[in-house]
Structure 1
Amino acid sequence: MTPFKLTEELLIQITELIDAQSEHALIDLMKEVHFADVAEIANELSEEQATYLIKLLDSDKTSDVLTELDEDVREAILNNLSSKEIAEELEELDTDDAADIVGELPKEIIQEVISEIEDKEHARNIVDLLRYDENSAGGLMAKELVKVNENWTVLRCVKEMRAQAENVTRVHSIYVVDDEEKLKGRLSLKDLLTTSTTNPIKNVYIPKVDSVNVNEKPEEVAKIMSKYDLEAIPVVDEIGRLVGRITIDDIVDVIREEAEKDYQLAAGISQDVEADDSIWILTRARLPWLFLGLLGGLGAAAIMGGFEEMISKHAILFFFTPLIAAMAGNVGVQSSAIIVQGLANDDLKGSIGNRLVKEMLLALL
């Protein structure tokens, strides 16, 4: 498969088709384009053009496009869609993605959009997810999963799985629960296929299964899934009931966001910012560390002032000042990178004081 590349010629062709409202030609052109690539195209269009494109294409594609758009572009498009049109897009999405989009809508239209969703169970699941903090496993999870009761026979289990799988985009695991919906374990597909159809699931399932609480931080979920190489992990509430699952694609987003934050922190930026943020926001994010750098510079100048007489007698020493400053800056960048990496990986050992002393000794060397 050849990687998609948005060329200037293609973008011009698409904008011309949109401006001419050549629906059939535009549909044919976009038919084989992946939804992530459609989102890339929409990000480069004007608000009116992007909205026209979203309204023109089928919801089964544009719903995924909405999840890939830049936040400001998605917000602009949603503002141009009716509540019914938004609801149609949400019905094509998994509950976690749908809840993310609903959470971005103005509060005054959320109820109206939810009421327009024809699949009432899907609507209830979206509303349920909105209760959780977005910075938690509950805010990250999806409600779609395949679960079976430990008291079912293998035959009934297979029938129930077929019915449930229709609403699940990808089946990563089969979870086993008791009559109170508490997570008991997971079911191996191999064991399911090789055991008698009359055998109860309680005699077949694997009782050991990794899970996370709904209030767990996404960063901790990412560490668990990375450590145990999991494609999906079940989410349980405070009393152990199975309430959802988190898949690897959601965790990839978390890892990317954390990497961006760590990179910005290592560069001396105190909050998460984007290149297109306002000058005030960018300045506010950079100013604290720049101010500390200014204090450090003033301190260095004061120290050098103590050697003014020596420098005046041996002027050649002055030419080494840029070298010393550059070396100090490089050491600082290296130290901050190591510290930030350690914080991100949670592998810093010992106290912060000991770590600072160690880095100072390294700087002196």
Structure 2
Amino acid sequence: MTPFKLTDELLAEIQQLIENRQNDSLRSLMEEVHYADVAEIIDELHEDQATYLIKLLDSEKTSDVLTELDEDVREAILGNLSSQEIAGELAELDTDDAADIVAELPKEIVQEVISKISDREHARDIVDLLRYDENSAGGLMAKELVKVYDHWTVLTCVKEMRQQAENVTRVHSIYVVNDQGILIGRLSLKDLLTASTRSPIRDIYISHVDSVNVNEKPEEVARIMSKYDLEAIPVVDEIGRLVGRITIDDIVDVIREEADRDYQMAAGISQDVEADDSIWDLTRARLPWLFLGLIGGLGAAAIMGGFEEMIARHAILFFFTPLIAAMAGNVGVQSSAIIVQGLVNDDLKGSVGNRLIKEMLLALLNGVILAVGLLVFTWIWKGSFPTALAISISLIAVIVVAGVIGTFTPLFLHKRGIDPAIATGPFITTSNDIFGILIYFWIARFVLGI
């Protein structure tokens, strides 16, 4: 299959077909295009053109297109559709995707849209999902799944499964519940096919099944599914009743969003923004951390001002200030990045004390190696061994302290329930810059006897 590529020529052709109302040609052109590629096309069209295309194509396709669109584009298109048309789109979607779209609709039309969905059970499932926090397993799950009761025979089970599977896009697992609807296990398709048709399900099901609670955080669900290589995981309520399932495609979205959020936070962006957002939104996201950098810079300048006399007598110390600050910031970010990654992947083992000792030894080793090279270079360049020694010892101390700060800070934030990803950005860089410069001049004063 040749990867789809949206060219200027193709986009112009589609726009021309829309303007000329050549509906048959437009349907024919879009027939073999994947819904994700149709969404890419719509993102490039004007609002009226995008709405026209959505209305023209079959809801079986456009419903999936809506889930792939940028949120602002989807909101604009839905604003141009009637309640009946929106209901038609929702009827073709799995309940989790439908609930996500309903949650974005203006409150005054939600009830009207829901009332126009012809499949009342589908409508009830959507409403049920809306009561869960979007930042939970309940807000992430879908109602579509295949479940069987443990008292059924294999023959009854197969008949019921055929009916249930009609509403399930992909059958990952067959879940077994008791009469109270409590999840008790899963069913192997191989065991189902090889067992006698008169055998009860309770004799052949597998009692072990991984599940998550409706209130579990999406990040934890992602960690569990990743750890156990699951394509889907059942969701249970507070008393263990099976209420839905989460599939791998939803988890991929969670992982991607979390990665985007952490990447922006590490870059000093405090809100979830995109390149197409307004200048004001982008400014609000960036400015807080820029202010932090400004304060850090003023703090560093104030510290250097306190050593003005020493700098005047040993001007060479001033020239190495950027190097010291840069090394402190780099080491701090490296240490914090490793810790944050370990926290996210749940890979950190042992006590905090052992982790700090290990990081100190690692930083000490790196610092000594780098300091030796710096000592030789500075001694040859300026011919003053005491000055070269002062700068080199300062570098070792700064690297060790930066490593400890970079390790301790994300662990402390995580313990306090704060996203440790902020420790990989300007926060850790600025703090290490200040501490680095302060330590640098203190040690230089001591070694040089000033």
Same fold (TM over 0.5): yes
For the 8 Å contact 2:332–2:403, the answer to whether it is kept is no
**Map of 1:127 onto structure 2:** 127
**Map of 1:262 onto structure 2:** 262
Q: Using the alignment, how far apart are the partners of 1:29 and 1:355 within structure 2?
A: 61
**Map of 2:311 onto structure 1:** 311
**Map of 1:363 onto structure 2:** 402
Deviation, 1:18, is 1.1
Aligned partner of residue 6 in structure 1, secondary structure: coil
1:49-87, CA deviations, whole angstroms, 9 ceiling, x for partnerless residues? 100110111111000000000000000000000000001
Summarize the alignment of residues 290-309 of structure 1 with structure 2, pairs less than 5 Å apart: 290-309=290-309
**Map of 1:320 onto structure 2:** 320
For the 8 Å contact 2:137–2:214, the answer to whether it is kept is yes
Cα pair distance change 1:352/1:294, threshold 3 Å: farther
**Map of 2:235 onto structure 1:** 235
Aligned partner of residue 181 in structure 2, secondary structure: coil
Deviation, 1:224, is 0.6
Identity %: 80
| Structure 2 letter corresponding to 1:29 | L
Kindly name which structure, 1 or 2, has the bigger radius of gyration based on alpha carbons: 2
1:47 equivalent to 2:86? Answer no
Summarize the alignment of residues 99-178 of structure 1 with structure 2, pairs less than 5 Å apart: 99-178=99-178
Q: Please list every run of 5 or more consecutive structure 1 residues that lacks an aligned counterpart in the other structure.
A: none
Q: Using the alignment, how far apart are the partners of 2:403 and 2:55 within structure 1?
A: 63
For the 8 Å contact 2:133–2:139, the answer to whether it is kept is yes
Task: Please give the root-mean-square deviation of Cα atoms over the aligned residues, in Å.
Answer: 2.1
Deviation, 1:17, is 1.2
Q: Using the alignment, how far apart are the partners of 1:346 and 1:362 within structure 2?
A: 25
For the 8 Å contact 2:154–2:199, the answer to whether it is kept is yes
Q: Using the alignment, how far apart are the partners of 2:354 and 2:133 within structure 1?
A: 34
**Map of 2:422 onto structure 1:** none
Aligned partner of residue 205 in structure 1, secondary structure: coil
Q: Using the alignment, how far apart are the partners of 1:299 and 1:107 within structure 2?
A: 49
For the 8 Å contact 2:331–2:403, the answer to whether it is kept is no
Deviation, 1:316, is 4.5
| Structure 2 letter corresponding to 1:77 | I
Q: Using the alignment, how far apart are the partners of 1:298 and 1:336 within structure 2?
A: 24
Q: Using the alignment, how far apart are the partners of 1:354 and 1:296 within structure 2?
A: 27
For the 8 Å contact 2:335–2:403, the answer to whether it is kept is no
For the 8 Å contact 2:329–2:402, the answer to whether it is kept is no
Structure ranking higher on relative contact order (CA contacts 8 Å, 6+ apart): 2
Deviation, 1:283, is 2.6
Aligned partner of residue 320 in structure 2, secondary structure: helix
Deviation, 1:21, is 1.4
118-127 or 334-343, larger mean C-alpha shift: 334-343
Cα pair distance change 1:364/1:245, threshold 3 Å: closer
Q: Using the alignment, how far apart are the partners of 1:43 and 1:103 within structure 2?
A: 21
| Structure 2 letter corresponding to 1:49 | Q
Deviation, 1:92, is 0.6
Deviation, 1:19, is 1.4
1:200-255, CA deviations, whole angstroms, 9 ceiling, x for partnerless residues? 00001001101111111111111111111000011111111111100000000000
| Structure 2 letter corresponding to 1:113 | V
| Structure 2 letter corresponding to 1:148 | V
Structure 1 or 2: larger helix share? Answer: 2
For the 8 Å contact 1:211–1:234, the answer to whether it is kept is yes
| Structure 2 letter corresponding to 1:47 | E
301-310 or 101-110, larger mean C-alpha shift: 301-310
TM-score by structure 2 length? 0.77
Deviation, 1:28, is 1.0
55-64 or 303-312, larger mean C-alpha shift: 303-312
Cα pair distance change 1:74/1:171, threshold 3 Å: same
330-339 or 232-241, larger mean C-alpha shift: 330-339
Aligned partner of residue 243 in structure 1, secondary structure: strand
Summarize the alignment of residues 44-83 of structure 1 with structure 2, pairs less than 5 Å apart: 44-83=44-83
| Structure 1 letter corresponding to 2:156 | R
**Map of 1:23 onto structure 2:** 23
Aligned partner of residue 108 in structure 1, secondary structure: helix
Q: Using the alignment, how far apart are the partners of 1:294 and 1:201 within structure 2?
A: 67
Q: Using the alignment, how far apart are the partners of 1:283 and 1:322 within structure 2?
A: 28
Cα pair distance change 1:269/1:337, threshold 3 Å: farther
